[in-house]
Amino acid sequence: MKKLLALFFFGLITISAKSQSTQNIKNDILKDSIVSKFNRGDYEGIYALANREFKRNIKSGVLINLLKDASSLGKIKKTEKMYTDTTNVSTYRLFYEKKSLQLSVKALSHSSYDVFGLTFYQLPINQTRNHYPSDNLLKTSLDSVVQNAVNDYMRNENVAGLSVGVFRNGEMFTYNFGETEKGSKKLPSAETIYEIGSITKTFTGIILAHAVKEGKVKLNDDIRTYLNGKFPNLQFKGQPIQLVHLSNHTSGLPSQPKIVGTGKDTFDPSETFSEKVLVDILQNISLDAPPGTKSEYSNFAVSLLGYILEKAYQQSYEQLLETYIFKPYKMSQSNITLMESDYKKFAQGYDVEGNNTKYWRNRLAEPAGGIRSTTNDMLLYIKEQLEAKNGSAAWLSHQLTWGDNKRGKGLNWGISSTKKGYIVWSHDGGTYGFTSLCLIYPELNSGIILLTNNGNHNDQSFYDIGKSIYLSWVK
């Protein structure tokens, strides 16, 4: 859910290998200048160091806003060079008071750059682990497929645990690897609880479909119908934001707006939700295009959709989950609020720096990423999607509302096609300490759920697990 804007611009100038040592020195001096200016709050001064080409491509406000966002982490206490790549771009770890970020620069001189990048620091992928705990019996062809699929990911020493669920032609299979907590030697199980992050959005889409079928709402309803107050700004040239736009990421609403007055992150676990906070945010939004025309991912839009569904039903989001999904699907181990006994089954999450994370919860963000679940329960969820009857709420959630079958959206489901032409309903998810992926192939009567207590959402080898398992079915 939580992401810092990453900005990278690479100029076209190259430097010969002979001058690499000199280039490293220039990069180090420039880095020190950037750090000094940042700690003084001189963000304009950092932008002023950019060369002309950089400035033609990146406006000052983009970089300055990025640096202001980074300032919420405090001052930079120290730096550490990580590496210099073959294009002479040096990357440094910046140790802020609250967290680390990663700075990449290439200096043209001691006081000028043509490459600048700032993003979250993450532990390097260290594929040196040759053995890891597993309950895979390696007796069937699927066992072998899954083992081969997970090996690259699990060889990374920084990955704690992984659970894989496969639904194939009416049968369910589960596989577990690594540890629920580093050093514990406790293998995850099909009942280990993980944060599933934004896969939660698909649950919200199904609840929306129920509301449509029951006449509580219409997909083309103006969202202002369900809001207290006047919001003339929530339209563009007479075209309002509709409920369907909240569920297919075409509303034009920002993904994670700041709290008005404080500038704090709306989805920070320490923030308390109130209707006033929501109204203040909505009243300060300005649309730059007609709703329904541009697809831009928005956590906030789905959070707002959940709030509207609560008002339509006069029930909490958790109650709606229980009524329309958890109970009928027999997902007895899934929820947002956990019992004391559940914490014994909860995997310990780890952020991109390898630190233990606290369990993530934010009232406003619950419909966008608040569910905790298990491999067993998520396989039941996949089963219900595959067995959904025409006209049912789950079926309605899979219907295109934007784009086409090659690249489209349902009600919070991503809809796409593989190279071989098979339809995929999908969503991934990530919180501070967890990453997840749900893939459903209706024409193959199959689906995959991946859950890990690793907060690095950018490790491609995690997502390749699902691709490898799918490819074994269509050879």
Q: How much is the pTM?
A: 0.88
C-alpha span between 414 and 399 (Å, rounded): 10
pLDDT on residue 316: 97
C-alpha span between 113 and 45 (Å, rounded): 12
* In the chain, % of residues over pLDDT 70: 96
Provide the residue ranges of all domains of the chain, joining segments of one domain with +. 7-120, 141-199+336-473, 202-313
C-alpha span between 286 and 194 (Å, rounded): 36
C-alpha span between 282 and 229 (Å, rounded): 10
Q: Give the mean pLDDT of 387-406.
A: 98
pLDDT on residue 170: 96
Position 5 pLDDT exceeds 50: no
pLDDT on residue 265: 84
C-alpha span between 242 and 240 (Å, rounded): 6
Q: Give the mean pLDDT of 316-321.
A: 98
Q: Which of 201-205, 267-271, 418-422 has the lowest mean pLDDT?
A: 267-271
Superfamily of domain 141-199+336-473: DD-peptidase/beta-lactamase superfamily (3.40.710.10)
Domain range 7-120, its CATH number among 3.10.450, 3.30.70, 3.40.190, 3.90.550: 3.10.450
- Average pLDDT value over all residues in the chain: 93
C-alpha span between 188 and 369 (Å, rounded): 22
C-alpha span between 369 and 375 (Å, rounded): 17
Residue 87 contacts by C-beta under 8 Å, 6 or more apart in sequence?
10, 14, 106
Position 1 pLDDT exceeds 60: no
* In the chain, % of residues over pLDDT 90: 86
Q: What's the token pair of residue 281?
A: 């945010």
CB 176 within 8 A of CB 169: no
CB 141 within 8 A of CB 151: no
Q: Give the mean pLDDT of 92-106.
A: 94
Q: How confident is the model at residue 19 (pLDDT cuts 50, 70, 90)?
A: low
pLDDT on residue 13: 34
Position 304 pLDDT exceeds 70: yes
Q: Give the mean pLDDT of 269-280.
A: 87
Q: Give the mean pLDDT of 81-103.
A: 93
C-alpha span between 183 and 133 (Å, rounded): 12
Strand partners, 93: 80, 102
The dihedral of CA 255, 256, 261, 263: what is its sign? Answer: negative
For residue 80, the Cα-to-chain-centroid distance in whole angstroms is 27
Position 76 pLDDT exceeds 70: yes
Q: What Å distances lie between residue 453 and 136, 177, 328, CA to CA?
A: 19, 11, 28
